[in-house]
Amino acid sequence: MEGKPVLEQLSAYKPGKQVKDIQNEYGLSRIVKLASNENPYGCSKKVETFLTDNIKELNIYPDGNAGELRKTVADKWQVTESQLVFGSGSDEIVQMLCRAFLAPGLNTVMATPTFPQYRHHALIEGAEVKEVPTIEGKHNLEQMLQMVNENTKIMWLCSPNNPTGGIISKNQLHEFMLKCPKHVLIVLDEAYYEYLSKEFDPSAITLLSQHKNLIILRTFSKAYGLAGLRVGYGIADESVISKLNVVRGPFNTSSIAQKAAVIAIQDESFLDETLGYNVEVKHDFEKFLDQIKWGYYPTETNFILVKTPISGMEVFDFLLKRGFIVRPGELLGCPQTVRITLGQKDDMKELQRILHELEQQVSKER
């Protein structure tokens, strides 16, 4: 059966090996997964209690409007409920945006490397993809603006950027919005927003009243620890949200996910604790990388992109055999790197020991 011709050029998402399979293959008793930027501290205990006590009414469709979650998020960010759209993770909202705004004859501009789903879904809709290389992991905003023409429909900004961790400052974002033509929809993907230090918060929500061509994406998959429940949201002018609601599935977020997200966003103590642990681990790991003289990109996230003296895939294989799963740069568009999620303190200490062993092996061969 033939599908769209472009599908022959694309591939399905390939999940990593299952933990049990890796344990069996290498004879390991324990695996530490540091590949997908999940929260290593789990989720709020209040969410865990809810999930334990409320697995019921699974025969009933969820609230297609996500009413309680909609009100909670609107109140938190001081926006109207009609400015919000919810998805099965912010991934789904990326798909909605491409479905609603892109078509053959139109184009979209993005950085490279960045979150690959922008490109993937744009190509499926038949749009031309224009990619602008990052500079030391950060968006080249001026060059991206130069790529815009009358057929440009979406510009993607990922800040902090995945996989590099680079950020767009408040001043840069505000100036960029003033320069960007109004016919271009700016998608600011802030999946890692909660990890930003306060001084790096771009205050993007304050721009929505001035720029109707801006949408901000957030997720509960990262800092809130709800990756398995799949829930994210977008904030934009009603004129943008109304179009997304046309292409959105009628029951695209589950009842369980909606309620868990409400509880998670209200439990600020868990979030603060998580962020505190993350900063401590990040600083310690950066000091270690400095000691072994491995480069890395400065990051305001729960992951770090490390420049490796050998190929990223070789580092990946070395760590995998010792029970650590990371993301090789070959899969991210930057081969001589690995992306490492910042895990719990004890796990990161063990990772440091293994990387030090690798560095000693590599240095002998230089």
Write the pLDDT tens digit of every residue in 102-115.
999 999 999 999 99
- Distance from C-alpha of 313 to C-alpha of 321, rounded to nearest angstrom: 12
pLDDT the model gives residue 229: 97
Same domain, 254 and 275: no
Same domain, 256 and 177: yes
Percentage above 70 pLDDT, the chain: 99
Q: Is residue 97 part of a domain?
A: yes
Same domain, 215 and 281: no
pLDDT in tens, 151-165: 999 999 999 999 999
- Distance from C-alpha of 71 to C-alpha of 237, rounded to nearest angstrom: 16
Q: Which helix (H) or strand (E) holds 86?
A: strand 84-87
Same domain, 153 and 260: yes
- Distance from C-alpha of 299 to C-alpha of 284, rounded to nearest angstrom: 13
**Nearest Cα to Cα of residue 50 among 252, 273, 275, 255:** 255
What is the rounded average pLDDT of the residues 35-41? 96
Q: Are 264 and 43 in contact (CB under 8 A)?
A: yes
Same domain, 305 and 251: no
Same domain, 34 and 75: no
- Distance from C-alpha of 192 to C-alpha of 198, rounded to nearest angstrom: 13
> Can you list the alpha helix ranges (DSSP code H) found in the chain?
19-26, 45-53, 67-77, 89-101, 117-124, 141-146, 170-179, 238-247, 255-266, 268-291, 312-320, 345-365
Q: Of the residues 226, 242, 266, which one is the last residue of a structural domain?
A: 266
Residue 361 three-state SS: helix
Q: Is residue 93 part of a domain?
A: yes
Q: Of the residues 266, 291, 323, which one is the last residue of a structural domain?
A: 266
Cis-peptide into 40, omega within 30 deg: no
Q: Which helix (H) or strand (E) holds 32?
A: strand 32-33
Same domain, 131 and 162: yes
pLDDT the model gives residue 289: 99
pLDDT surpasses 90 at 133: yes
What is the rounded average pLDDT of the residues 115-119? 97
Distances (CA, A) of 85 to 169, 231, 247, 335: 25, 11, 11, 36
* Residue 352 half-sphere exposure toward CB, CA atoms < 13 A: 21
With the CA atoms of 27, 32, 34 and 36 taken in that order, what torsion angle do they form, in degrees rounded to the nearest 10? 80
Positive or negative torsion for Cα 286, 287, 288, 291: positive
pLDDT the model gives residue 364: 80
Domain tally, the chain:
2
Same domain, 102 and 217: yes
Q: Is residue 73 part of a domain?
A: yes
Q: Is residue 365 part of a domain?
A: no
Same domain, 61 and 114: yes
What is the rounded average pLDDT of the residues 47-58? 86
Distances (CA, A) of 40 to 53, 201, 227: 23, 23, 11
Same domain, 157 and 306: no
Q: Is residue 308 part of a domain?
A: yes
Q: Of the residues 239, 266, 293, which one is the last residue of a structural domain?
A: 266
pLDDT surpasses 90 at 298: yes
- Distance from C-alpha of 339 to C-alpha of 37, rounded to nearest angstrom: 9
Same domain, 201 and 305: no
Lowest mean pLDDT among 55-59, 99-103, 337-341: 55-59
What is the rounded average pLDDT of the residues 37-44? 97
Q: Is residue 249 part of a domain?
A: yes
Lowest mean pLDDT among 52-56, 287-291, 307-311: 52-56
Which CATH number belongs to the domain containing residue 237 in this structure? 3.40.640.10
- Rounded to the nearest angstrom, the gap between the alpha carbon of residue 118 and the centroid of all alpha carbons in its chain is 11
Same domain, 105 and 180: yes
Give the other-Cβ count within 10 Å of 22's Cβ. 17
Angle at 164 between CA 122 and CA 156, to 5 degrees: 30
Structural domain that includes position 214? 45-266
Q: Is residue 75 part of a domain?
A: yes
- Distance from C-alpha of 40 to C-alpha of 34, rounded to nearest angstrom: 9
264: pLDDT confidence band, cut at 50, 70 and 90? very high
Lowest mean pLDDT among 56-65, 175-184, 211-220, 342-351: 56-65
pLDDT in tens, 1-35: 889 999 999 998 877 677 888 898 889 999 999 99
Q: Is residue 53 part of a domain?
A: yes
Which CATH number belongs to the domain containing residue 19 in this structure? 3.90.1150.10
Distances (CA, A) of 353 to 193, 348, 360: 30, 9, 11
Q: What is the mean pLDDT of the chain?
A: 96
Partnered with residue 219 across adjacent β-strands are 232
- In a 10 Å sphere around its CB, with 0-12 CB exposed, 13-18 middle and 19+ buried, how is residue 19 labelled? middle
Q: Are 234 and 216 in contact (CB under 8 A)?
A: yes
